[in-house]
Structure formats: structure tokens, C-alpha cells
Amino acid sequence: MERQVGIIGAGTSGLLACKYVLEMGFNPIVFEAKPGVGGLWNHTLKTTKLQTPKQAYQFSDFPWPSSVKEDFPDHNQVMEYIESYARHFDLLQYIKFNTRVIGIEYKGASDEDMASWDLWGGTGDPFSPQGKWNITVENIHRKSTQVYQAVFVILCIGRFSDVPNIPEFPLNQGPEIFNGKVMHSMHYSSMDDVDAAKFIEGKRVTVVGIQKSALDIATECAMVNGVENPCTVLYRNAHWNVPHYFPWGVPLALLYFTRFAELMIHKPGEGFMLNLLTTLLSPLRWLQSKIVESYVRWKLNLKMYNMIPKHSFNKDFSAGRICITPDNFFDRVEEGSIILKKSASFGFCKNGLMIDSETAPLETDVVILATGYKGDEKLKNIFVSSTFQKYIFGASNTIVPLYRECIHPRIPQLAIVGYSESFNNLYTFEMNCKWLAHLLKGTFKLPLIKEMEEDMLRWEKYMKDHSYRRSCNSSLHIYYNDQLCKDMKCNPRRKKGFFKELFEPYGPMDYVNL
């Protein structure tokens, strides 16, 4: 138990944490509620494909096999790739499948003692001879519980699963008065492909939402029911979803994933000269956004469908809200198998939905709520301590407060991987895990708790200004990785040559062997 690290979750972040912790000489034990690895990829919609090119979504030391020719592999190919990674690095032996973590409890210093610490954990070290975590788990098949102990815990539970975000409705306007079926997209996605098709066949379906899962579900409904029973997509605000990543023939990566692109953005903790340079370059960022917007408006004919967002493309990009529209989505809108309907609010009635500013109800048989997840609440609920719950949940108007998007300064011997979003989540998770492994090894120490909290406030302000309060670093991915590299005593400049360093997009392979 002396060097045992408990890892909760065997999705991509959990596998990465296991691999890098193992390489540093620790003993990982991974708890996974499902029967296999992969997290969200373990079971998803039939039409789901990778949203980023495979060159950006890959493990730095495990390239995609040559047999995968597509730039955007489907979910079956992604699952096979993830499983191959786990087998290649012999990670499966460390995973306890069908084992759900009920709660984790810290045994060590009292809340009063921890509140007085100046350094993380009291000493600044990731381990303490007095402190340990009790991890209570349930075997899903046997319904039995067991307690494991670990000197460090890594939470890799993901923010887009398990705890659905269900809108709240006034009295007598909720799903309870509706004669049809209401479900969250999570439950629809959990069906196998045949059952899902049977469930929606011949029914009038309304999908609430406009992000990736909503568009995919609406497309599946249109494929099954056609114009005879069109699927209605009910949304509040339009977003800049794109047909592909080559506006006007220019790779989006050249516009947004280079050092030069990040010079146009004000950064947390930037100095005077960097601030001045960013201010001077800011008109280029405005132009950058308009170039992409003009292409998307033209290519998807957004004006015809009244789908032009009121905010900029840069705003959605910074928040990680960009997705690729499913093939022929707007063709299906034009033919009438998908109906787009905008509404600030809605409520249920006996035969369907009452839409804002409409007197007649929208008659429907099935309502699928593609309204996201309560990832913060899911994270909070895993802690037994109410003090830690308050620390991690923060306030309703803040992001999950984490230093380097991994560590809470007031919670010792614990890290969180997977709550910082980007367009290249796998790439982000791997950098988190490399940084964390170096922290456990002792390559570097964390600063004072006060200094970490000040840094967190700077990043929180950036997230509020640019990311709709989402923990997303898409616009500052390289700048964020620079900080991790400096902590790990590595050179953050990963390219050869001045112009490549400035104008060539960064990707996972630039950080191999850190």
C-alpha cells in the first residue's frame, strides 16, 4: 500500500494515468464501473465519429494503425484503438472492472489542521506518512462492498456521463404531465443500435439541444422516419457548428493551433510586453473569426435556416462548443425530415410541448433531452467529506477550481484529470498525466497554496471572459502546455526552427518522451 495509487475510471484519462504512474514506479489500481475500457466511447450513438482529425487525437507514443485510413474514424475504430493501447502497454491487469466507487474518504489531518497549511498537504509533497485515502467500492455483479486504501488518488471519472442535466420546470409544466416518453440523451445512447432504431421508429421525436449529441440523435431519427415523422430540434441559441475543418481551403489548425494564433489572445498572468503585443494583434483575431464565419454562413446557408449565431466564432471556439455537423444534416432540414425550432423556454403539456411565444402545442411522442451533464455535481458526490465537497464544487458561477487543471490546493494527495476541455481532449489528458507523474516522482514541487489560488483566480477570470464558465483551454492550449513543460523541467519550445515554432500547428507528437 506504501506506493499504491488509486485511479477511478478506465476511460482515456484513466488509462493514461495508469500508464504514466506505472512508469514512475508506483503501483496503480484502477476501478471501472463498466465491463471494459474506453469511458464514453464504450457505448455511444451509431453515427458518432471522432470530432478532431486522428492526427490530433492520438497517444503520443502509440500512433493510429495504418489500417485506419479515415481522418475522422467512427466510434468502433476509436474503441479498437483505445483497447489496443491498453493491451500494448499491458494495463488491463491493473483494472478492476464492474467495480463502482461509492465514495472516497481522506484519513489524516483534521479539517482545522488542513485549513492552516501553507503548503499542499502540509509539506508540499504528494505523499504523507500519516495521510491515506479509503476508497469504498461496490462489485456490480455481487452487490458486495469493499474498502481499498491508497496513498494517492487520481479521479478520472469524466464530466460528460452519469449525472444528466435535466432542466427544471414550473409546477404542472414538467414531464410528469406528458403522455409520451421523456428521456435524456444518456439513456438513448446506452441503447444498442437496433433497439434505438425501434424505439424512435414511427414516432414524432423532439430533441432538445443543439450540440453534437443533439445533432447526431436528430440525424438518426431523420434516417429512420424521414419526412413522414420529422424530428424537431428545439434549441435556445445557435452555435458555430462547422461542415469540416478547412474553411476556404485553409486548415483550421493553421488559424488556431499555432503559437502565432495564441499571441492574439490575452493570457492569465501575462506580462506587460506580451499584453501590448496581444493588443496590437487583436484585429487579426477579429479577422480570423470573420473568415471562418463567412465560410460557414455560405457553406451551410445559415441565413436560410435562421441559424446565424449572435456571437463570434472565436467565442464558441474558446469554449470548446464547435462540432462538425453530421453528414447531410442541413439537406435533411431542407427536405423536411428535420425541423429547427428556436425557443427561449418551453414546458410540457399532455400531448407535447408548449413553446415560448406559440399558442398551439408542439405535438410529439418522444422528447430526448440533449441538455448535457452535471459534471461538477458528479465530482462533488464522490467525496465523503462535506468540506472537500464545498472546496471542489465552488460557487454556482465558477468553474471547478483546480491548479494546472489538476490539483485542488486544499485537498491533499489527490488529483483530477479530465475536467479541462479542449478540441484535443486526449492530447490534453496525456499532458495532464505526464505532469502529474512528474509531480509524484518529485521532479518539482507545487508552490504555496496562496500562490496556487492566485493563479487559479487568474485562469478563472479568463474562463469567465472567454469560455462561458467552462474549463476549456482550446484557445491557449500551447500556452497551457508551456506551463506544464516548465514545471517538468522540459523545454516548452518543441519545434525545430523559428518559423515552424511560430506558425506550425502543435500536436501530441510534439510532446513525446517528456
Percent of the chain with pLDDT over 90: 83
DSSP per-residue codes, 74-139: BHHHHHHHHHHHHHHTT-GGGEETTEEEEEEEEESS-HHHHHT-SSGGGTS-S--SS-EEEEEEEE
Q: Does residue 51 lie in a domain region? A: yes
Distance CA 423, CA 383 (A): 29
H or E element at residue 339: strand 338-342
Give pLDDT, residue 145. Answer: 96
More confident call, 471 vs 439: 439
Distance CA 40, CA 37 (A): 9
What mean pLDDT is predicted for residues 340-361? 92
Distance CA 260, CA 501 (A): 9
365 and 480 share one domain? no
445 and 349 share one domain? no
- Cβ–Cβ < 8 Å for 49, 463: no
Confidence of residue 394 (pLDDT cuts 50, 70, 90): low
251 and 235 share one domain? no
For residue 475, the one-letter residue type is: S
89 and 121 share one domain? yes
Q: Does residue 54 lie in a domain region? A: yes
What mean pLDDT is predicted for residues 5-32? 97
Distance CA 169, CA 477 (A): 38
- Cβ–Cβ < 8 Å for 318, 474: yes
Q: Does residue 404 lie in a domain region? A: yes
Report pTM. 0.94
What mean pLDDT is predicted for residues 215-230? 96
**Number of residues in the chain:** 514
Residue ranges with strand state E in 9-72: 27-31
Q: For the chain, how far is it from start to end, CA to CA, in angstroms?
A: 27
23 and 137 share one domain? yes
143 and 18 share one domain? yes
pLDDT digits (tens, 9 = 90+) for 292-331: 999 999 999 999 999 999 999 999 998 888 889 998 999 9
H or E element at residue 202: none
Three-class DSSP category at 401? coil
Q: Does residue 250 lie in a domain region? A: yes
32 and 116 share one domain? yes
346 and 379 share one domain? no
- Cβ–Cβ < 8 Å for 30, 18: yes
Structural domain for 356, as ranges: 165-239+322-371
69 and 198 share one domain? no
Q: Does residue 496 lie in a domain region? A: no
88 and 10 share one domain? yes
Confidence of residue 470 (pLDDT cuts 50, 70, 90): low
Number of domains in the chain: 3
Q: Does residue 504 lie in a domain region? A: no
Q: Which of these, 153, 179, 170, lies nearest to 31 by C-alpha position? A: 153
Is 469 a residue whose pLDDT tops 60?
no
Q: Does residue 514 lie in a domain region? A: no
DSSP per-residue codes, 139-179: ETTT--EEEEEESEEEE---SSSSSB-PPP--TT-SGGG-S
Confidence of residue 2 (pLDDT cuts 50, 70, 90): low
Percent of the chain with pLDDT over 70: 98
Ranges 39-43, 190-194, 367-371, 396-400: which has the least confidence: 396-400
What mean pLDDT is predicted for residues 454-475? 82
234 and 366 share one domain? yes
Q: Which of these, 158, 31, 48, lies nearest to 100 by C-alpha position? A: 31
Confidence of residue 422 (pLDDT cuts 50, 70, 90): confident
The DSSP bridge pattern shows strands 4-8 and 362-363 to be unpaired
193-200 vs 212-225: helix crossing angle, rounded to 10: 70
348 and 361 share one domain? yes
Backbone angles phi, psi at 128, to 5 degrees: -140, 135
Residue 183 forms beta bridges with which residues?
368
Q: Does residue 278 lie in a domain region? A: yes
Specify the CATH number for the domain of residue 356: 3.50.50.60
Q: Which of these, 274, 250, 254, 251, lies nearest to 263 by C-alpha position? A: 274
- Indicate the average pLDDT of the chain: 93
